[in-house]
Amino acid sequence: MLTRADEFYRLMKTRRSVRGFSSSPIPPQVLESCLMTAGTAPSGANRQPWHFAVVDNPAIKQEIRLGAEAEEREFYQRRAPSEWLDALAPLGTDEHKPFLETAACLIVIFGQKFDVDNRGDKHKNYYVPESVGIATGMLITALHNAGLATLTHTPSPMKFLNNILQRPSTEKPAMILVVGYPEADTEVPDITRKTLDQIASFHNGA
């Protein structure tokens, strides 16, 4: 058990969010397998309230880039309070999102507030953001395990994604997961992770 747990940690601690992607294509079956892993996530009342829109079409990726950059321009130039901009400064992000076009694949993840049955009746889903968040984490983990890099990207607001991808209004975009291979010379910010003591407390018996 300990060997498996430690080996998995050693694998997962090499994961980094990447912002420079090469355009090398991803084997479709690898992607499908990782999506199946995401679909094993626990969810409120087992409603599995998620949809993954997988985009590799260059014209659609371009549309998503244009939509995202329009929102990001507003964010960086007007909407973001200075405290937020200060927090982002070490990451070196700005409103330019070329990776939305260069990366092999974008997975746009939607949460389904309702299930719609074949009579058109709506049934409320439960704990949708939590369920979708867990499934997204499992997807990122599966993709990393398969040797693929990811970036969680959240232009805000994201309603434009429903229009581009023709998803119903009962679905709310949760994030864009950019997926592919890192660009050869890409750099990542010099970050550290909190220690076990900082993230956990142990409430032992006896």
Interface with ligand IYR by CB under 6 A: which residues? Answer: 72, 75, 88, 91, 93, 153-155
Q: Measured at CB, which residue is nearest to ligand IYR?
A: 93
Nearer to ligand IYR, 69 or 130 (CB): 69
Q: How far is the CB of 44 from ligand IYR (least distance, A)?
A: 25
Nearer to ligand IYR, 128 or 175 (CB): 175
CA distance 45 to 112: 13
Nearer to ligand IYR, 52 or 75 (CB): 75
CA nearest neighbour of 109 among 165, 32, 45, 181: 165
Nearer to ligand IYR, 155 or 182 (CB): 155
Number of Cβ atoms within 10 Å of the Cβ of 29: 8
Nearer to ligand IYR, 125 or 178 (CB): 178
CA distance 47 to 130: 12
